[in-house]
Structure 1
Amino acid sequence: MRSSLVALACLLASVAFAAPTTPAGQPGAVVGEIAPSLEGQRISGSAPVNLDQLRGRVVILDFWATW
């Protein structure tokens, strides 16, 4: 009985996390389309950088977190 409850809980959790994260009616990012405008802080702490300023250059964005 307990193992079937654990299996059911795991199944429900995986379904919940597999749900789409973009709101209905709003398309997500698509490969090949122009990236949306994005502004961020430089590591050096100097003036913020806007993605539009880097148009025409190769930009690598690294998103990470420690959980």
Structure 2
Amino acid sequence: MKIVVDREKCRVSGECVTACPEDAISIVDGVATIDESKCDLDGICIPACPHGAIGFSEGIRKAAK
């Protein structure tokens, strides 16, 4: 399992970047991107996203790393 970003829903609000205590999220090519090597799967970023673009891999379709 991993946390993924739905590229179609991401509006780059930056809320997820701010919320992540592991500094595992950055904006790359206009979309939030999760560094799996830093992510501890705590899920803090999921409710932080006002667009519903972040979730656990089995919860979002059409997701990208």
Q: TM above 0.5, one fold? A: no
TM-score, length of structure 2 as denominator length:
0.22
Higher relative contact order, structure no. (Cα contacts within 8 Å, ≥ 6 residues apart): 2
Q: Which protein is richer in strand relative to its size?
A: 2
Tell me the TM-score normalized by structure 1. Answer: 0.22
